[in-house]
Amino acid sequence: MEKYIIEANVIEKNSFEDKYCLLKLTAAQPFPDMRPGQFVQARINAASVFLRRPISINFMDKEKNVLGLLIQLIGNGTRALAEIRLGDKLNLILPLGNHFNLTPHSSTEAKLLLVGGGVGMAPLLFLGSYLKNDGYEPIFLLGAKNKCDLVQLKDFQKFGTVYASTEDGSYGEKGLLTQHSILKHNSFDQIYACGPKPMMLAVAKYAAANSFPCEVSLENSMACGIGACLCCVENTVDGNKCVCTDGPVFNINKLKWLI
């Protein structure tokens, strides 16, 4: 897919307890087609930040030409990015990377489980909306520290059934999402996961043990985002592969994880 450098405008900004920031952006030109799982490289105008930051696409409204980015304020880059104000411009390179398997099954009755931990939920909203639009009924399993961190709960509910785990038990089941009861005595035709590495590893083990097809979206630290610098590599059965161009989505069978 052709890549573009676009000056986007911030038209809406919602902050959630200094932990998350949801940006809605538009641009003078139409955003190109983007697929769930792809990401953007955002340029941050702060002296303390040198490199762009990869941010997954949270949603895309093609008709209104609005792009959504959900940012977790985790380091100096994302904190500086969240300082952006309404009306400010944000320079983006997009769309980058591959995408989730968007035709997971011949039947729309297939059971598709989308597992998101923390800010790893972000690309699953876009994926869920896409799958719902194609007639599937996605099942979401979301994990967070507490109810407040489930910042897009209502949006997820528009596209499918939502199960959740919170560490403090303030919403859904108490504990880690990998301990959620929905994972017991159920079978899935496709699992998609995005979140912290230990979570994805646990989901991958669960999928492998039950022979459920499973894709994970990785977030290795990255410099260029376009396959030039070879910094973000993941060790796969085919050797070191760039997460930015061969990923971020990988089938777990391709990874050299101890599953």
48 is an interface residue for other proteins by CB under 8 A: yes
Could you tell me which residues are beta bridge partners of residue 217? 194, 249
Question: How far is Cα 39 from Cα 252, in angstroms, rounded to an integer?
Answer: 20
55 is an interface residue for other proteins by CB under 8 A: no
The single residue among 19, 24, 35, 52 that binds other proteins, judged by CB under 8 A, is 52
The single residue among 27, 80, 110, 233 that binds other proteins, judged by CB under 8 A, is 233
Question: How far is Cα 208 from Cα 201, in angstroms, rounded to an integer?
Answer: 10
* Cα–Cα–Cα angle for 157, 101, 213, rounded to 5 degrees: 90
Number of H helices and E strands in the chain, helices first, is: 4, 16
234 is an interface residue for other proteins by CB under 8 A: yes
CB of 47 to other proteins, least distance (A): 8
Site size toward other proteins, by CB under 8 A: 30
Question: How far is Cα 86 from Cα 147, in angstroms, rounded to an integer?
Answer: 27
The single residue among 105, 229, 253, 257 that binds other proteins, judged by CB under 8 A, is 229
Instruction: Return the number of the residue (76 or 210) whose C-beta is nearest other proteins.
Output: 76
Q: Summarize the chain as % helix, strand, coil (round to 5).
A: 20, 35, 45
CB of 50 to other proteins, least distance (A): 6
Q: Which of residues 202-221 bind other proteins (CB under 8 A)?
A: 220-221
* Cα–Cα–Cα angle for 8, 44, 223, rounded to 5 degrees: 110
Instruction: Return the number of the residue (92 or 162) whose C-beta is nearest other proteins.
Output: 92
Residue 36, number of CB atoms within 10 A of its CB: 26
The single residue among 148, 176, 223, 259 that binds other proteins, judged by CB under 8 A, is 223
Q: Which residues bind other proteins (CB under 8 A)?
A: 2-5, 43, 48-52, 77, 93, 220-235, 239-240
